[in-house]
Amino acid sequence: MVDGGVAVVTGSAEPGKLSDTRVIEESLVEPGLFGLLYDRHEASLYRYAYRRAGPGIAEDLVAETFLVAFARRRHFDPVCGDARAWLFGILTKEISHHHRREKTRLRAVARSCQTEVANDSADQALVSADARAARGLLAAALAKLSRGDRDVLLLIAWSGLSYTEAAQALDIAVGTVRSRLNRARRKVRAALGGDDPTRVIEESP
């Protein structure tokens, strides 16, 4: 709890059973507790960073995310409860610093998929050509999206955030999330001939 602006550790709950909010709150007194957030969320953040930025920089992005989160932990809004959206928001900002690298990587993936399909043997092509071609088309479509639209689409499709969590992560309105997501999906479907591999189960209106 917070008493007069000073965090005070209360209760006897085991550290591993503390909510994210309590971990952040109590880490103001016991900084080492913040490591629990790393244990809980590092894997999902790394998978997301890996898919967006590639293996060469994903680990650094995640490390920087936790450094920034630790420095700003006093400003975490306890209303959010789970720290996942907050952390993904910080990670998204870190990725934005490398947006040119991300677009270059997406274009490289698109080109490499086309080359791999062309170089496949007949038997290999029967198994993998369609999947590789679709992956290349998706990468090319993602590279053409605006950064804002791409952030919303991939936060929902690749990290599994809800519309509300994506809005919290990006500090935008839920209505903006919906409009950006619809626009991004429309462009992806157009690029892939009507298919949308980023589609996930949507929230009820």
pLDDT of 98 = 77
Q: State in words which class domain 41-191 has.
A: mainly alpha
What global pTM score does this model have? Answer: 0.77
DSSP 3-state assignment of 46? helix
Retrieve residue 5's tokens. 């602006």
pLDDT of 109 = 61
| Strand partners of residue 2 | 7
The one-letter amino acid code at 199 reads: R
pLDDT of 6 = 36
pLDDT of 173 = 97
Domain boundaries, the chain: 41-191
pLDDT of 115 = 52
pLDDT of 102 = 65
pLDDT per residue, tens digit, the chain (205 aa), is 334 433 344 444 576 789 999 999 999 999 999 999 999 999 999 999 998 888 888 999 999 999 999 999 999 998 877 999 999 999 999 998 876 666 666 666 666 665 544 444 444 443 344 455 566 778 888 888 999 999 999 999 999 999 999 999 999 999 999 999 999 999 999 988 887 777 754 443 3
| Contacts (Cβ under 8 Å, ≥6 apart) of 99 | 147
Q: Which H or E run includes 3?
A: strand 2-3
pLDDT of 193 = 82
